[in-house]
Structure 1
Amino acid sequence: MTAPTPSRRLLSVPAADTGTGDTDPQVHVGRGSAATVVVGVSGELDLATGPSVEARVLAAVDTAPGGRVVLDLNAVGFLGLRGVAMLRAAADRARATGASLVVVLDPAAPAARALRLVRGPGLTVVAVDEPVADAS
């Protein structure tokens, strides 16, 4: 199987969020436009990493009331049930703040395969052939 050929660019590269003092390298937050927050997640989302990643993602959702949060999961190598619970919490928080949450995934990404196995987490998933975090 060959990797998808990049053919489109969506948003700017999320800059590492170092202003919080948190050294967790798994979550990077940036701005796509005035009303769009872009969150790139990498690594494994499991019982060990889920709580810290969830806290950072929910904090990013809180910065976009009434706007849009784009969550790029293309660099997630493993999405466990704790990661799915984090996605549901993020979707619920977005709805509560009047924001929309869009998950960006390559259909062949490990996280996409995991999401196909769980029943309706209530997310809008957009399939792209290039990770948002790698777009320029």
Structure 2
Amino acid sequence: MELKVATRSSGGTAIVAVSGEIDLYTAPQLQAEFARLISTSPQRVVIDMSEVEFCDSTGVNVLLSALKRLRERGGDLEVAAPRSAVRKILQVTGLDSVFTVHDAVPDDLLTTEHKG
């Protein structure tokens, strides 16, 4: 299963839309996109996980690493629209209290996207 990553930015906010599976084989692709994105110093990054079917511990580690690097620069990483399998991983590991988790991509970002 391949991983597709699309990033769009507006102001100090970026939305990273991910689809497919985040695992040992595809996580480096997501990690590379976060590294590129973090170098632009966004204040807020929202990862849209509505199309992510599976995320293993490697994927979770990529998210945690990105969160750490963003917070070091005064930013934050939020998780939006995780499917039930991904949401369960976040809950079981306690990461649902580490990340801000939204049921959907926040409306203010959708509005920004259309103004784009």
Residue aligning to 2:4: 26
- TM-score (normalised: structure 1): 0.67
Q: Aligned with 2:95: secondary structure? A: coil
| Structure 2 spans left out of the alignment, 5+ residues | none
Q: CA deviation at 1:62?
A: 2.6
Superposition misfits of 4+ residues, deviation over 2 angstroms:
119-122
Give distance in 2, aligned partners of 1:79 and 1:51: 13
1:70-93 alpha-carbon deviations (Å, 9 max, x no partner): 111111110100011011001001
Give distance in 1, aligned partners of 2:84 and 2:35: 23
Q: Aligned with 1:26: secondary structure? A: strand
| Structure 1 spans left out of the alignment, 5+ residues | 1-23
User: What RMSD over aligned residues (CA atoms) do the two structures have, in Å?
Assistant: 2.6
Higher percent of residues as helix: 2
- TM-score (normalised: structure 2): 0.78
Give distance in 1, aligned partners of 2:31 and 2:88: 20
Identity of aligned residues (%): 31
Q: Aligned in 2, Cα 1:101/1:52: closer, same or farther, shift over 3 Å?
A: same
Q: Aligned in 2, Cα 1:58/1:112: closer, same or farther, shift over 3 Å?
A: farther
Which structure is higher in RCO with an 8 Å CA cutoff and minimum separation 6?
Answer: 1
Larger-Rg structure: 1
Q: CA deviation at 1:129?
A: 7.9
Higher percent of residues as strand: 2
Number of equivalent positions: 108
